[in-house]
Amino acid sequence: VDNDVRALTVAEQWFGAGVGLSDFAVVTVGAGIGCGLVVHGRVVAGAHGVAGEIGHVTVDPAGPPCHCGNRGCVEAIAGDAAIVRRIRETTGVEVADTAEAVALAHRGVAGAREAYARAGEAIGRGIATVANLLGPERVIISGEGLAAYDLFAEQIRDAFGAAAFGSAARCDVQTRPLPFEEWARGAAATAIQSFIRADDQRQNR
């Protein structure tokens, strides 16, 4: 139907924390770092369908390589695979997956906690970039990565506050765990919108 993060953004616009807002963003954390944008009441895809790709905003030019070919992208630091890889490098523990990474960090292992703190800083800087460029009223953070939110929430707030310029720092940044059903609901709403737009186009001919 559409990009999954944009579909979730439609769900938030119709039913969730974006109801009544003309300008907001949805940032998803987990396997990747995604972002859906609503500007002047419309979900924005951009001319080439990549509007809102904050996962590939460079926050550390000397950082780890990203699969996109650049270095130090938000996703290369804060995506699930990147965090697991960083923990393996700094602790020497062969962490198998995100669940083990979170458990290690909750046990207070310094290298694991550092990986999540670093991820939070990257996400915060990415969100600040969105706030500085578009000035949304609200940024909603969601995605499966919220299972580890307590490990990087403070760093997201601090990095956002440091990097957001002027009144952009007044943006309401909130977290909202959303079940899979909300993503599916967004896909359904997106499909409905496509039929409405098609009818409008026919009537305007």
Q: Which structure tokens are listed for 168? A: 């952009």
Residue 45 pLDDT level (bands cut at 50, 70, 90): confident
Write the secondary structure of 18-63 as one string of H (helix), E (strand) and C (coil): CCCCCCEEEEECCCCCEEEEEECCEEECCCCCCCCCHHHCECCCCC
| Cβ atoms of 134 and 37 closer than 8 Å | yes
Residue 1 pLDDT level (bands cut at 50, 70, 90): very low
Residue ranges and CATH numbers for the domains of the chain are 4-193 (3.30.420.40)
The pLDDT score that the predictor gives to residue 166 is 93
Q: What are the pLDDT digits (tens) for 108-151? A: 999 999 999 999 999 999 999 999 999 999 999 999 899 999 99
pLDDT above 70 for 196: no
Whole-angstrom Cα distance, residue 2 to residue 52? 14
- Provide the CA 174 distance to its chain's centre, in angstroms: 12
The model carries a pTM of 0.88
pLDDT above 70 for 5: yes
Q: What are the pLDDT digits (tens) for 90-99? A: 999 999 999 9
Q: At 34, phi and psi to the nearest 5? A: -115, 165
Whole-angstrom Cα distance, residue 4 to residue 9? 9
The pLDDT score that the predictor gives to residue 118 is 97
Whole-angstrom Cα distance, residue 52 to residue 194? 21
